[in-house]
Every structure is written in structure tokens, then in C-alpha cells.
Homo-oligomer: A and B are copies of this chain.
Amino acid sequence: MPDQLSQAEENYLKAIYKISRQSGTPVSNNSISVEMNTSAASVTDMINRLSQKDLIHYQKRKGVRLTDLGEITAIHLVRKHRLWETFLVEKLNFTWDEVHELAEQLEHIQSRELINRLDEFLDFPKYDPHGDPIPDENGRITERQQVLLSQLPVGQKAVVVGVKDHSTPFLQYLERTGLLLGAELVIGERFAYDNSLQLEVADEQKLLISQKVGQNLYVQKK
């Protein structure tokens, strides 16, 4: 068993995990410092500490890779984060754009048992309020086959299942336009001029969305 990690160490692991998810392997010192908004010097320091604890593999100037232990730890943090977000939305009626900061705090609470009970209390949810998959107790993640809305052809029916951009402005935009998780839609038209899309949503309503919106919404084909 690894000893208790500090919040700072946990945050670095999460950042490394996140970066390596989206950009393949070795994670550079620099990308970490950008992701975490810290100086490169701090990153070098922390990398040494995490290596020491066998959470990452580190070869000087060759980048960082999570060890198995590091990856398990990171996935467990993601699990905690997403379960707490689900709790906040489902039970305490927070909106999906309010929960991130709170979950950032709650994810550092140390107790395997607590999280498993929370999971049970929430009825073992598979996805969080943003549509992101929640890893199970063993770190297994149920991946969904999903595509970006922008990649669909005209005429395609689809249902909104997740967001790529988690920012408050984007979430609030979706709230306002009703493009929430579970919303069904058909691609009506694609305007080559600016790559905006005309959607047909519930009640035969038409909705025009920009390319940027289409590139940040995950959907499942129907």
C-alpha cells in the first residue's frame, strides 16, 4: 500500500493522467506546468518526489509516464471526483456548472469505504452529470462509442451524451439552449461558410449552433 499522498501530489497525478489521456505518452514537464499553472521548476521538484514514490517513471529530459500504481491512483481520483459531482447534482440539486470546484476539494477525502458507499447510495452510476464515465472500484471504465456532433453527416439522428468542454460558459449555453444530456436531435443542414450546423431538436424546433459548439458536444448515433 502506498502511504497517503498530499493533495499537491494527487493533483499532479491527475494532471499527468489527463494529459497522457489526450496526447498519448510521455508527458513533458512543460505540459504539466501549463496544465497546472505552476512554474517548470516546481514541476521538476514534484516529479522527483513522485518518482521516489514509484508513482511515475521519469527519465531525465525524456518525459514522464505513470506507473501502474500511479495510474490506479489517478483513476481512483477521477472516480472520486465524478462520484462527488454526481452526488452534488443528483442529491443536493447543484447545477452541472457549479460542481467542479467542490468536487476538486471532495476528491481528496481519504476513504475507500466512503467512496464505495457513496457509489452504492447513488445506485452505481456509470456516468457523471457531464456524461463522463465513472471508473468502478477496480478502476475499470465503461467507454461509450461516441463522436463529436460536428462529425455527423446531414440527416443523422443522434442523442447528446457528453461534453468535451467543461467550462461554465459552455455548460450555461447548453442549459439555455436545451442541448442537455439525453437531448435528441437530427442534423438538418451544414453551412459551409462557417461550418455552423442547423439542428432539429424536440418539437420540430430548429437550432443553429456554431462549429465550436459542435466540436465540444459528444453524441451517440441513433
A147 interface hit (Cβ, 8 Å): no
Which of B91, B92, B109, B117 meets A105, CB within 8 Å?
B109
In the complex, which residues of chain B have a beta carbon less than 8 angstroms from the beta carbon of A88? 114
B-side contacts of A109, CB under 8 Å: 102, 105-106, 109
List 11 contacting pairs A-B, 8 Å CB cutoff, sorted by A.
A91-B121, A92-B114, A92-B118, A92-B121, A93-B117, A94-B117, A102-B114, A105-B109, A105-B110, A105-B111, A106-B109
**Which residues of B lie under 8 Å from residue A110 when comparing CB positions?**
105
A121–B93 Cα distance when bound, in Å, is 9
Distance (whole angstroms) from the CB of A65 to the closest CB of chain B: 31
Given contacts A91-B121, A93-B117, A106-B109, 7 further A-B contacts (CB under 8 A): A92-B118, A92-B121, A94-B117, A102-B109, A102-B114, A105-B109, A105-B110
Report yes or no: A117 in contact with B92, Cβ–Cβ below 8 A. yes
Which residues of the partner chain B approach A105 to less than 8 Å between Cβ atoms? 109-111
Give A87 to B118 CA distance when docked, in angstroms: 11
Report the minimum CB–CB distance from A117 to chain B (whole Å): 4
